[in-house]
Amino acid sequence: MRLSSFSDYSLRVLAYLGVNPDRLVTIAEIAQSYAISENHLTKVVHHLGRTGYLETVRGKGGGIRLAKAPADIGIGDVVRQTETDLALVECLGDGCCRIASACRLKSILQEATEALFLVLDGYTLADVLDTPLERLIRATRQPAP
């Protein structure tokens, strides 16, 4: 299983905001810091705002910030909100399989998916925000003009 870039970027945005809790941050700043597309980040930020993870402030001097404390943002919840298809194989989703009635693989893969989320659900954004990450993100931030 591989998370989509949308989930990856969502987690990166949350981490960036988590180490910058004292100010509003722009999408351009985050994009530059991570060297990723500003257009793609705009979609990510819009989604995170709609799902209640971010607060957006419009206008001159506006930007984004976390809408919740990092300890209240579960990594498993973010991944569930940002992944469109969590099925490892077609038969775990809406697909139909000719051997489904005799196949044990479906239940094994379902168990593996549940185990993944059991681990992810054990962590919050606060667990990700350690001092080395904060130093690295702050080091990539460009000073405001």
Question: What's the pLDDT at 72?
Answer: 97
Instruction: Write the pLDDT tens digit of every residue in 111-122.
Output: 988 999 999 999
Instruction: Write the pLDDT tens digit of every residue in 81-93.
Output: 999 877 766 666 6
Q: With 80 as the cut, is the pLDDT of residue 96 above it?
A: no
User: Alpha helices, DSSP H only, in 19-130?
Assistant: 27-34, 38-50, 75-82, 105-120, 125-128
**Domain spanning 5-140 has what CATH number?**
1.10.10.10
Which value, to the nearest 10 degrees, does the dihedral of the CA atoms of residues 116, 117, 122, 124 take? 110
pTM here is: 0.83
Residue 103's pLDDT band (boundaries 50, 70, 90)? confident
Closest CA to 46 of 17, 13, 22: 13
DSSP 57: E
**Dist. CA 131–CA 133, nearest whole Å:** 5
